[in-house]
A and B are shown apart, each in its own frame.
Chain A
């Protein structure tokens, strides 16, 4: 038991405060380092993040939106799909907090259910992209030469198309449904992950500990996933957070253009598109789904920025 720990476990014992046995400060800090293993890069990052008040609020907003999408059937008693011709185009009221649309469906209910699709598109497409892109980047950075060339030229080719155009084109060719939308977004997001991972792998590859691992005969797979990947996780988390927000916007854009979900499925972009015809007399139909997307994306970007600050060693010294 270290001196500090002893002092902590015995609150009455204020030994450390007594001048006659005060230890040199470096001994105290040494004891602290040994007994409190909390000061790892990850806990430091977490502390840095927790200091970011706005980001914490944003995180709560994201969690609330995710929860309310999952719990939609319990949160509302209205039907998101069925028509209700007697309550068409109702303005926001106590009965319908965000109004009703042209078919008399509650807008709030449709926003809650619509979140299920938008969030799925955002998270699934980026998960696919990260799961393929990160190993590709690791391989390109680790093996170099022909493997690197082949992988990176394919990535360059994907980037040669302007993003949304490529996605629209693919969805147009493969058929417009939500599965193809996710695939197309994943494909276009691939290069981001492959490029970042490759760059960081290349710089870590020169480090002594990687060399040491190679010398003792560690398999490439082990070096890539055990020695390199954990050290680049920080940057990957940042781009993944920002990637999800981009994917949610892209998914909603495609539904807005009529290339995503089919009516009457509730989806934020599609709801916005439906509301366009009623802008003059029922602005709420298009306004609130758009506001929800903006809120979610704003929260994701804020969290992403806070992660960036937290993982950046330069800001730690503050």
Chain B
């Protein structure tokens, strides 16, 4: 067990290192042109570009640059944002809580609703509830988040005037963004829960539980659900990646000052240190969420001991 967690952690750390190198290489190799000129922005003077080249060590060998970049990154120095004129790290740290709150709430709400629908439809398989839910779930699964967000704004903010459209001042500001993101998540989890639950309810150990006289409620929640949850843990972990991506769109629709909005502004403004910083941060977050998922997995499923 300890060895397994240690191994997973080491793999995650290696992955973070590889991702950092990749992000560095992409910025130096994939983009045509002088990185110093790009970092300086479109209207920079030749002196400024020269200054940046010196400051960033761009006149040194590539390997040395990589080492400097990595040691700086470990210290939390991701360079200066061209747009803000501030250190990238500081700007991102201010925006990060919004993205994390949005993603975390959406995972929670979406997973709970999905579990509810999944369990209900599996238990009532073949009934009208099941048929209606299948249609609703496919619809939820297909609806693009940017359209859903706009429809929600149309109905609740423009039409009914019960919720605010833009900003992040109060908790009400989070209602529509979280709804937008969690609907897709709930559909994903509902489908998975239903399939697994149906399979579980047909298993021999469920018949045993029923025949020894347990209440249906006990059979469903204590016996079937526990075993259904195992694959769901993995999918919830992996879905965080999708939701982090979805957060980019949602933040842009609802004007939340999160990392996603920062990333898009950086791309539009060709603020390369900021692009690099946001990608690095989101990828590293994703790696660690997956690491935590792997660890939880061992606790949920005692059959799995990889060492």
Contact with A along B101-143 (1 / 0, CB 8 A): 0000000000000000000000000000000000000110111
- Across chains A and B, the number of contacting residue pairs, with CB separation under 8 Å, is 127
| Interface residue A82 (Cβ < 8 Å from any Cβ of B) | no
| Interface residue B245 (Cβ < 8 Å from any Cβ of A) | yes
- Tell me the residues in window 215-274 of chain B with beta carbons closer than 8 Å to chain A beta carbons: 240-242, 244-246, 248-249, 252-253, 263-264, 266-268
Contact status A298-B138, CB under 8 Å: yes
| Interface residue A35 (Cβ < 8 Å from any Cβ of B) | no
Contact status A269-B146, CB under 8 Å: yes
Contact status B282-A279, CB under 8 Å: no
| Interface residue B287 (Cβ < 8 Å from any Cβ of A) | yes
The docked-state distance in angstroms from the alpha carbon of A249 to that of B184 is 13
| Interface residue A111 (Cβ < 8 Å from any Cβ of B) | no
| Interface residue A283 (Cβ < 8 Å from any Cβ of B) | yes
Contact status B241-A256, CB under 8 Å: no
Q: Which of B15-23, B82-90, B299-307 contacts A (4 or more CB under 8 A)?
A: B15-23
Q: How far is the CB of A273 from chain B (nearest CB, A)?
A: 8
Contact with A along B53-87 (1 / 0, CB 8 A): 00000000000000000000000000000000000
Instruction: Select one of A269, A287, A301 contacting B154, CB under 8 A.
Output: A287
| Interface residue A182 (Cβ < 8 Å from any Cβ of B) | no
Contact status B283-A176, CB under 8 Å: no
| Residues of chain B within 8 A of A257, CB atoms compared | 248-249, 252, 264
| Interface residue B198 (Cβ < 8 Å from any Cβ of A) | no
Chain A residue nearest in CB terms to B266: A172
Contact status A290-B263, CB under 8 Å: no
Find the residue from B30, B240, B283 having the highest chain A CB count within 10 A: B283
Contact status B279-A253, CB under 8 Å: no
Instruction: Select one of B15, B31, B154 contacting A279, CB under 8 A.
Output: B154
| Interface residue B4 (Cβ < 8 Å from any Cβ of A) | no
Instruction: Select one of A162, A290, A305 contacting B146, CB under 8 A.
Output: A290
The docked-state distance in angstroms from the alpha carbon of A67 to that of B102 is 40
Chain B residue nearest in CB terms to A259: B267
| Interface residue A27 (Cβ < 8 Å from any Cβ of B) | no
Instruction: Select one of A165, A171, A259, A294 contacting B245, CB under 8 A.
Output: A165
Tell me whether A253 and B283 are in contact in the complex, defined as CB-CB below 8 angstroms, given that A168-B248, A173-B27, A287-B151 are known contacts.
no
Instruction: Select one of B138, B144, B242 contacting A163, CB under 8 A.
Output: B242
The docked-state distance in angstroms from the alpha carbon of A117 to that of B106 is 31
Tell me whether A293 and B150 are in contact in the complex, defined as CB-CB below 8 angstroms, given that A164-B242, A165-B248, A165-B263 are known contacts.
no
Chain A residue nearest in CB terms to B243: A162
Contact status B144-A168, CB under 8 Å: no
| Residues of chain B within 8 A of A181, CB atoms compared | none
| Residues of chain B within 8 A of A269, CB atoms compared | 146
Tell me whether A161 and B138 are in contact in the complex, defined as CB-CB below 8 angstroms, given that A253-B249, A272-B150 are known contacts.
no
Residues of chain A at the chain B interface (Cβ within 8 Å): 157, 160-166, 168-169, 171-174, 176, 245, 249, 252-253, 256-259, 269, 272-273, 275-276, 279-280, 283, 286-287, 290-291, 293-294, 297-298, 300-302, 305
